[in-house]
Amino acid sequence: MSFYVAEEHGHHPENGTLLGFWLYLMSDCLVFAVLFATYAVLGRNYAAGPSGADLFELPTVALNTSMLLLSSITYGFVMLAVEKGKQTPALVWLAITGLFGMAFVGLELSEFAHLIHEGAGPQRSAFLSSFFALVGTHGLHVSVGIIWLITLMVQVKQRGLIPENKRRLMCLSMFWHFLDVVWIGVFSFVYLIGALR
């Protein structure tokens, strides 16, 4: 009976949505933990092929990292604008965040294309298979985040900063910052250590 009453009043358990999204993020954590563990086990199996020290260009990776870190900062400005109820600044900061995200994905795809062109594709060695799996999965997550961000921009433009859109923006904020944390792990564990081997 109380379920139907709640439906009539349009009640939505906001904390339930956020809890559900936290559970999703924890499951995603497990996915990345498995990928990191796989890389830790296979990361030195070069099959007489190139190693990270031979392949990784740290200046390019550092530039790529800065794109993602800057996008995290600009998403912080999105949430500040949302808290103040300022729709236009929120949309502007969302657009800037999306551009940084697209730059990140573009640089990553360029790196992948370069490696494959050099004969260092995922089939070359266990090291490269685990590298492409880990970095590619992260890039796929960022790409999905960009699509989600564009969708939210359309929804905010059409319906404003209604409670539902604020909740969705908060979920995307958690997702975006989570990807930042994962990338810091990738940058440190894969690129920096790999370049020193």
pLDDT for res 117: 95
Nearest to 166 by CA among 72, 94, 70, 71: 94
pLDDT for res 62: 95
Q: Which residues of 75-110 are buried (b: 16+ CB within 10 A; e: fewer)?
A: bebbbebbeeeebeebbebbebbbebbbbbbebbee
Query: Residue 162 is encoded by which pair of tokens?
Result: 């209604």
**Rg, the chain, Cα only:** 20
DSSP assignment of 68-86 equals: HHHHHHHHHHHHHHHHTT-
**Looking at the domain 14-196, which fold is it?**
Four Helix Bundle (Hemerythrin (Met), subunit A) (1.20.120)
Helix (H) or strand (E) holding 132: helix 126-159
Domains of the chain, residue spans = 14-196
- Contact at 8 Å (CB) between 28 and 178? yes
pLDDT band at 64 (very low <50, low <70, confident <90, very high): very high
0.95 exceeded by pTM:
no
Identify residue 28 by its one-letter amino acid code: D
- The residues near 107 (Cβ < 8 Å, ≥ 6 apart) are 60, 63, 64, 67
Distance CA 51, CA 135 (A): 16
Q: How far is CA 157 from the centre of its chain?
A: 24
Question: pLDDT per residue over 112-159, tens digit each?
Answer: 999 999 999 999 999 999 999 999 999 999 999 999 999 999 999 999
pLDDT band at 2 (very low <50, low <70, confident <90, very high): very low
Q: Average pLDDT for residues 89-114, to the nearest whole number? A: 97
